């Protein structure tokens, strides 16, 4: 199996509304990634695009629409889509383009323009539900997270404060991220605990915002890394995994993301990791809501079931802790332009492993990291392990 | 070294270590231009690429070639090709480089470029191929570089990518205009059952990865990916959605298997077009929101425009298109899964209302519901399958551009780029003679002709004559779309590419029953994503070792 | 990020700039209407709801009773075997107290919503629905509930034929 490395990354600001069109956002991120990697678009043999619901940008076959901005014109161009899981999954698709031998250099570009959707991107989430079983009840997206969070808290008797601490940690971490939308270096636990109740138990500051943004990474085979002397700014992909659970989410117990565990198992096996808690130095799990970070840490095998909250409480998951989690600031702090979270998952792993994270750099040496994205109806997990 | 650095940097002029991949040359059948050798025009030049493919057409302007035969004799040194005012050339070890004018190219290809450069002996390195869209050779002509592609596995000697991948199971539900008794889940379950029975596998035990080709707006959901696993047997398994057509899905299966993390993959796509109440609205929703949506109009206008441009440029006629309609609708009468088989005559087709002239209503493939599932396996697993594996000898896919304003309206570049990838991988030297059958997209009748020419299966302007001579019919010289195509079976949206793959697989296995083409061993399959996309794929299938 | 990157692309806009036309924008409403065939399983499910009953399918392969019903078992990947009625009582598996309506607008009277695992089906086989006749302080995971059906003449074959699930009373089920 050919080894594949991330050799450059780029991203735009994440903001609630950006002026640039989806094509322009894609171009900015792709251009930055190419410049950082030191390759030209003509060196790229395959372009993989990741973007979540077409309805946000308001264009059917959105992948086609964004192809030129993503550098995919007159090239092998592939769009993959796994809902929120696309943030990590498109890089996995990029990985197999190179690992299979069909490309030496691949460009992965993810974009999301949620602000196009009027009156509010929330409206799109009305259409993710089953038309017969769920939609007649006019569900709000926050409900399903609230139900999962409730189940998780109740089964494990986790106090709300342990969950709210994650929001505090991540929004503070995001103060070191130049693209962050919701960074707040001074946020306190009280701020979160007292924020507006949306759908119990979820409060306003537990939720990541809708965002516009784009991110891109450049992948290269080991031959290319060697010949072009890219080793100093290369981070290797050690393992990939993904898994999808049944559509029938009402038949599942939501307290544990089994699908994330299976995706992680697949990635860890490839990466030859059998004791993740010891062998993984830091993690970027998907945190669209604060409790999700804990939920996913347990799914990734980095915390025992029900115990992830303790780790936050004890400072284990701070940047200078034993297992830094979401040093980027995560979706909670930087923003949630769904697929473009590539920049704070894969991108963050890349920048941390190559020592380029600036103010967010983890002080201890990090050699192996895991990032994860989640999507669909509490259903899909994509996991990537990267290392030096 | 003195360098003139133009706005597009020739590779040789770059400083520092350069990325030097293996690459092969893809030459497209474009308009000929004179080749000058050492200052003199040379007619009748046969260009031979590194893989030995010979192209009869004269090469493109501004191209560099690794080897040229002049009047049948090979020329030892590399030639330079000079284009007035846009000189370019490169030299081989020991040879000289001459350029009429324009940029100076490095003369020192005969030594390492930089420390650690081990490729300097490779004559193909630094090869750059520029494509010219214009009709004249003018100074300042814009050149658009196209990607360089890996050589086929084996040529490149790459440790992965050498394993063959084959299709070992096919499931097709009968295509019908509506399927009210099935939900899309139940329809997909039906297709999947058939494919798994054909392959003799249990999806819960044997399949490593699942892929579906789907678009939210064809299904009417916000995140259609959610609704895909149960009916394929993919619950708690690796599965993903590709926003692309069936050949793109197959390409992913191919790559996942070749990367070593899966042995058996399943690719699915379906159409539940009958659930869409506003199909034209959905197609129109694919248009650019700033440039095109405000114009309104029926999206088939775009096909009408392209048909007009294509017929003028190629010299094929509307009568030829009507012959395609008749051929495919009638061929479908022999295909048990076809949804729109009918004894349509060319006169009927020509006489149907021209709602988007020159496109007529019968030139448009009617919609159908249906599901196609393929089971794909790596070599070891494929050889143990209960069916004869149909090998994927080559596969390619490409997108030209989403922009209607800047795209090529006549030659389907996406098809040409995808084809060259596939031909390169499959080491196809002469496409017109390499295949026994073709299954290519015909969602609009003129598309069959355009795609035949884009694939190099017909010379420019000849496809129409071929169909009218009967060359493309089941008993003809080059049976094309004997399945009945989309015109005869039905337009199953994103599943069209998978449908044609399935049809080709059945032909090559000898399982095509009433519409079997005897002795078919090699097939070419091509797909297009439909309006308003300029994207498609090409797959080359074969049976045998 | 690397100190090489000093400028991060993206021009931030506020809502006002779009509403007052300070930035050029194009508006479009897609013509996107769908009517999904319910298929065999859901059609029967909805017809039974209209009759005031909840129906499921059995799978002999894994010995489960699947609710909502489906014509194939996703675990065994085989067709399901038979129709079987389940009860309209169940247990709250999880819930939320929502101060947001479906368009993310704030409401003062919260909506109680959650998942009920249905008696008679395999464990955890559930359905999402509203809860009624209980306050936000009374609702809890593990509460036993029963469906409150709309009157026969108001039922149309929809999950809304049930108005909500309410606490199970003494002597019921």
Of A181-190, A205-214, A359-368, B89-98, where does mean pLDDT reach its minimum? B89-98
Break chain A into its structural domains and give their ranges.
Answer: 4-118+209-387
**E strand spans, B273-368:** none
Q: C131-143 pLDDT, tens per residue?
A: 999 999 999 999 9
Burial B248-270 (b: 16+ CB within 10 A, else e): bbbbbbbbbbbbbbbbbbbbbbb
Distance CA B505, CA B167 (A): 7
Residue B114: pLDDT band (50, 70, 90) is low
Are residues C39 and B275, on separate chains, in Cβ contact within 8 Å?
no
pLDDT of residue A121: 87
pLDDT beyond 70 at B159: no
Q: What is the mean pLDDT of residues C156-165?
A: 97
- Tokens representing B166? 């084959």
Distance CA B209, CA B192 (A): 14
Residue C92 included in any domain: yes
- Tokens representing A374? 């989640």
State how many domains chain C has: 1
Burial B394-430 (b: 16+ CB within 10 A, else e): bbbbbbbbbbbeebbbbbbbbbbbbbbbbbbbbbbee
- Locus of tokens 């990916």: B225
Rg over CA atoms, chain B: 24
Q: Residues 176-235, chain B: which have Cβ within 8 Å of A?
A: 215-217, 220-223, 225-230, 234-235
State chain B's mean pLDDT as an integer.
Answer: 77
What is the CB neighbour count within 10 angstroms for residue A113?
29
Q: A222-253 pLDDT, tens per residue?
A: 999 999 999 999 999 999 999 999 999 999 99
B206 touches C: beta carbon within 8 Å: no
- Tokens representing C51? 């009759």
Residue B229: pLDDT band (50, 70, 90) is very high
Q: B220: part of which helix (H) or strand (E)?
A: none
Distance CA A27, CA A29 (A): 5
Q: B333-356 pLDDT, tens per residue?
A: 999 999 999 999 999 999 999 999
What percent of chain A stands above pLDDT 90?
95
CA distances from B77 to B38, B73, B74, B143 (A): 11, 12, 9, 26
Q: Is A110 left (phi over 0), alpha (psi -120 to 50) or beta?
A: beta
Residue B111: pLDDT band (50, 70, 90) is low
Question: Quick one: DSSP state of residue B60?
Answer: P
Distance CA B90, CA B292 (A): 44
Residue C45 included in any domain: yes
Q: A310-350 pLDDT, tens per residue?
A: 999 999 999 999 999 999 999 999 999 999 999 999 999 99
SS (H, E, C) C22-56: CCCCCCCCCCCCECCCCHHHHHHHHHHHHCCCEEE
Answer with the residue of higher pLDDT: A140 or B362.
B362
Q: B451-481 pLDDT, tens per residue?
A: 999 999 999 999 999 999 999 999 999 999 9
Cβ pair A59, C28 in contact under 8 A: no
Q: A78-113 pLDDT, tens per residue?
A: 999 999 999 999 999 999 999 999 999 999 999 999
Distance CA C33, CA C95 (A): 32
Residues of A in contact with C42 (CB under 8 A): 132
CATH (residue range A4-118+209-387): 3.40.47.10
Cβ pair A298, A254 in contact under 8 A: no
The number of angstroms, rounded, from the C-alpha of A122 to the middle of its chain's C-alpha atoms is 20
Nearest to B39 by CA among B90, B98, B124, B85: B98
Query: Which ranges constitute the DSSP H helices of B176-299?
Result: 184-199, 203-206, 216-219, 246-258, 279-284
- Residue B301, phi then psi, degrees to nearest 5: -60, -35
Break chain B into its structural domains and give their ranges.
Answer: 1-148, 165-278+364-542
Q: A59-83 pLDDT, tens per residue?
A: 999 999 999 999 999 999 999 999 9
Residue B272 pairs in a beta bridge with B369
Cβ pair A79, A65 in contact under 8 A: no
Residue C141 included in any domain: yes
CA distances from B30 to B26, B327, B460, B535 (A): 12, 29, 9, 20
Residue C78 included in any domain: yes
First to last CA, chain B: 52
Residue B171 pairs in a beta bridge with B373
Residue B10: pLDDT band (50, 70, 90) is very low
Distance CA A55, CA A338 (A): 13
Residue C75 included in any domain: yes
Largest CA distance in chain B: 74
- Tokens representing B308? 């007009």
Cα dihedral B512, B513, B515, B518, rounded to 10, equals 80
First to last CA, chain C: 62
Q: Which residue of B has its CA nearest to A227?
A: B19
pLDDT of residue B127: 30
Residues of C in contact with B285 (CB under 8 A): 30-32
Q: A4-21 pLDDT, tens per residue?
A: 999 999 999 999 999 999
Cβ pair B482, B514 in contact under 8 A: no
User: Whole-model pTM?
Assistant: 0.86
- Residue C153, phi then psi, degrees to nearest 5: -75, -15
Residues of B in contact with A245 (CB under 8 A): 229, 235-236
Domain range spanning residue C144?
A: 39-167
Residue A118: pLDDT band (50, 70, 90) is confident
Nearest to B175 by CA among B332, B361, B344, B345: B332
Q: Residues 125-144, chain B: which have Cβ within 8 Å of A?
A: 128, 144
Q: B518-528 pLDDT, tens per residue?
A: 999 999 999 99
pLDDT beyond 60 at A47: yes
Q: Which residue of A has its CA nearest to C158?
A: A132
pLDDT beyond 60 at B139: no
pLDDT of residue C2: 56
CATH (residue range B165-278+364-542): 3.40.47.10
Q: Which of C3, C30, C125 sits opposite A358 (nearest CB)?
A: C3
Are residues A147 and C100, on separate chains, in Cβ contact within 8 Å?
no
Answer with the residue of higher pLDDT: B172 or B460.
B172
- Locus of tokens 């030829």: B320
Cβ pair A245, A252 in contact under 8 A: yes
Of B118-122, B365-369, C115-119, where does mean pLDDT reach its minimum? B118-122
Distance CA A249, CA A256 (A): 12
Q: B263-298 pLDDT, tens per residue?
A: 999 999 999 999 999 999 999 999 999 999 999 989
pLDDT of residue C19: 83
Three-class secondary structure of residue B435 per DSSP = coil
Cβ pair A6, A350 in contact under 8 A: yes
Are residues B401 and A68, on separate chains, in Cβ contact within 8 Å?
yes
pLDDT of residue B11: 33
pLDDT beyond 50 at B136: no
Q: What is the mean pLDDT of residues A123-138?
A: 91
Question: Testing the interface with A: which of B16, B113, B147, B225 to mutate, by most A Cβ within 10 A?
Answer: B225
pLDDT of residue A92: 98
Residue C82 pairs in a beta bridge with C58
Q: B293-317 pLDDT, tens per residue?
A: 999 989 999 999 999 999 999 999 9
pLDDT beyond 80 at B36: no
Residue B26: pLDDT band (50, 70, 90) is very low
Q: Which of A127, A244, A375 sits opposite B234 (nearest CB)?
A: A244
Largest CA distance in chain C: 73
pLDDT of residue B95: 26
Distance CA B301, CA B408 (A): 16
Q: C8-38 pLDDT, tens per residue?
A: 999 999 988 888 988 888 899 999 999 999 9
């Amino acid at each position: 199996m050919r080894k594949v490395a991330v050799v450059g990354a780029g991203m735009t600001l994440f903001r609630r509304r950006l002026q640039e069109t989806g094509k322009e956002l894609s171009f900015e991120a792709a251009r930055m990634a190419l410049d950082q990697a030191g390759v030209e678009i003509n060196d790229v043999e395959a372009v993989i695009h990741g973007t979540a619901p077409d309805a946000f940008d308001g264009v059917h076959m959105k992948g086609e629409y964004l192809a030129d901005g993503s550098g995919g014109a007159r090239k092998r161009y592939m769009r993959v889509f796994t809902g929120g899981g696309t943030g990590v999954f498109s890089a996995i698709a990029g990985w197999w383009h190179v690992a299979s031998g069909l490309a030496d250099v691949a460009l992965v570009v993810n974009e999301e323009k949620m602000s196009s959707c009027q009156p509010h991107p929330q409206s799109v989430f009305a259409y993710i539900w089953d038309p017969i079983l769920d939609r007649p009840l006019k569900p709000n997206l926050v409900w399903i997270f609230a139900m999962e969070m409730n189940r998780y808290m109740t089964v494990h008797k986790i106090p709300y404060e342990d969950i709210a601490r994650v929001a505090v940690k991540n929004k503070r971490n995001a103060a070191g991220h130049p693209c962050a939308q919701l960074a707040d270096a001074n946020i306190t636990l009280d701020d979160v605990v007292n924020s507006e109740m949306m759908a119990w138990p979820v409060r306003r500051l537990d939720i990541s915002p809708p965002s516009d943004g784009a991110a891109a990474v450049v992948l290269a085979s080991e031959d290319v890394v060697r010949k072009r002397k890219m080793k100093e700014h290369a981070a290797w992909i050690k393992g990939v995994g993904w898994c999808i659970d049944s559509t029938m989410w009402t038949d599942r117990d939501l307290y544990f993301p089994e699908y994330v565990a299976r995706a992680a198992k697949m990635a860890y096996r490839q990466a030859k990791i059998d004791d993740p808690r010891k062998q993984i130095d830091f993690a970027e799990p998907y945190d669209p809501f604060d409790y999700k970070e804990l939920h996913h840490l347990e799914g990734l095998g980095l915390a025992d079931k029900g115990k992830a909250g303790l780790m936050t409480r004890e400072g284990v998951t701070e940047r200078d802790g034993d297992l830094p989690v979401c040093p980027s600031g995560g979706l909670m702090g930087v923003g949630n332009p769904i697929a473009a979270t590539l920049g704070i998952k894969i991108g963050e792993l890349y920048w941390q492993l190559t020592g380029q994270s600036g103010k967010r750099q983890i002080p201890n040496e990090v050699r192996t990291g895991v990032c994860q994205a989640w999507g669909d109806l509490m259903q899909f997990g994509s996991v990537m392990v990267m290392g030096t | 070294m003195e360098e003139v650095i133009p706005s597009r940097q020739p590779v040789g002029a770059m400083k520092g270590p350069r990325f030097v991949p293996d690459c092969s040359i893809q030459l497209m059948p474009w308009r000929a231009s004179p080749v000058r050798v050492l200052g003199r025009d040379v007619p009748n030049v046969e260009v031979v690429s590194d893989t030995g493919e010979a192209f009869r057409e004269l090469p493109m302007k501004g191209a560099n070639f690794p080897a040229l035969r002049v009047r049948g004799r090979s020329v030892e040194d590399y030639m330079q090709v000079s284009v007035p005012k846009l000189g370019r050339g490169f030299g081989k070890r020991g040879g000289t480089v001459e350029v009429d004018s324009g940029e100076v190219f490095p003369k020192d290809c005969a030594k390492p470029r930089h420390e650690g450069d081990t490729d300097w002996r490779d004559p193909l390195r630094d090869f750059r191929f520029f494509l010219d869209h214009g009709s004249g050779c003018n100074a300042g002509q814009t050149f658009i570089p196209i990607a360089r592609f890996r050589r086929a596995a084996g040529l490149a000697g790459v440790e992965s990518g050498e394993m063959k991948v084959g299709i070992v199971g096919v499931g097709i539900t009968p295509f019908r205009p509506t399927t009210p008794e099935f939900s899309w889940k139940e329809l997909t379950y039906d297709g999947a059952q058939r494919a798994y029975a054909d392959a003799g596998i249990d999806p819960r035990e044997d399949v490593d990865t699942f892929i579906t080709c789907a678009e939210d707006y064809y299904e009417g959901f916000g995140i259609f990916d959610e609704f895909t696993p149960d009916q394929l047997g993919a619950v708690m398994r690796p599965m993903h959605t590709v926003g692309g057509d069936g050949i793109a899905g197959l390409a992913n299966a191919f790559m996942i298997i070749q990367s070593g993390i899966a042995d058996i993959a399943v690719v699915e796509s379906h159409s539940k077009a009958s659930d869409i109440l506003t199909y034209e609205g959905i197609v129109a929703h694919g248009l650019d929101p700033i440039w095109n949506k405000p114009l309104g109009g029926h999206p088939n206008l775009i096909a009408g425009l392209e048909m007009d441009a294509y017929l003028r440029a190629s010299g094929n006629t509307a009568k030829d298109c009507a012959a395609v309609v008749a051929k495919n609708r009638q061929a479908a009468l022999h295909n048990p899964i076809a949804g729109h088989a009918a004894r349509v005559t060319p006169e009927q087709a020509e006489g149907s209302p021209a709602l988007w002239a020159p496109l007529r209503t019968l030139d448009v493939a009617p919609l159908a519901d249906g599901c196609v599932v393929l089971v794909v396996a790596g070599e070891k697993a494929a050889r143990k399958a209960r069916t004869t594996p149909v090998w994927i000898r080559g596969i390619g896919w490409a997108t030209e551009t989403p922009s209607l304003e800047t795209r090529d309206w006549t030659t389907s570049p996406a098809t040409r780029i995808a084809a060259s990838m596939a031909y390169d991988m499959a080491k196809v030297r002469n496409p017109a003679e390499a295949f026994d059958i073709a299954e290519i997209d015909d969602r609009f009748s003129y598309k069959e002709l355009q795609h035949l020419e884009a694939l190099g299966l017909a010379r420019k302007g000849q496809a129409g004559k071929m169909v009218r001579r009967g060359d493309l019919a089941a008993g003809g010289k080059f049976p094309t779309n004997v399945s009945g195509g989309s015109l005869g079976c039905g337009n199953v949206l994103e599943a069209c590419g998978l449908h044609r793959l399935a049809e080709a697989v059945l032909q090559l296995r000898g399982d095509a029953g009433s519409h079997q083409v005897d002795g078919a061993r090699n097939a070419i399959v091509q797909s297009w994503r439909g309006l308003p996309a300029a994207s498609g794929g090409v797959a080359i299938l074969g049976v045998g070792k | 990020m690397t100190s090489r990157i000093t400028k991060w692309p993206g021009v931030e806009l506020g809502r006002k700039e779009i509403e007052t036309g300070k930035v050029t924008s194009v508006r479009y409403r897609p013509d996107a209407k769908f009517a999904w065939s319910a298929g065999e399983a859901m059609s029967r499910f909805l017809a039974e709801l209209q009759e005031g009953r909840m129906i499921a399918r059995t799978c002999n392969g894994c010995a489960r009773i699947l609710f909502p019903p489906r014509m194939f078992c996703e675990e065994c990947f085989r067709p399901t075997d038979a129709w079987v009625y389940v009860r309209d009582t169940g247990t709250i598996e999880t819930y939320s107290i929502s101060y947001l309506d479906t368009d993310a607008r704030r409401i003062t009277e919260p909506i109680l919503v959650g998942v009920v695992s249905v008696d008679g089906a395999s464990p955890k086989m559930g359905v999402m629905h509203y809860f009624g006749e209980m306050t936000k302080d009374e609702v809890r995971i593990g509460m036993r509930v029963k469906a409150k059906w709309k009157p026969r003449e108001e039922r149309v074959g929809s999950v809304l034929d049930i108005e909500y699930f309410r606490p199970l009373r003494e002597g019921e089920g």
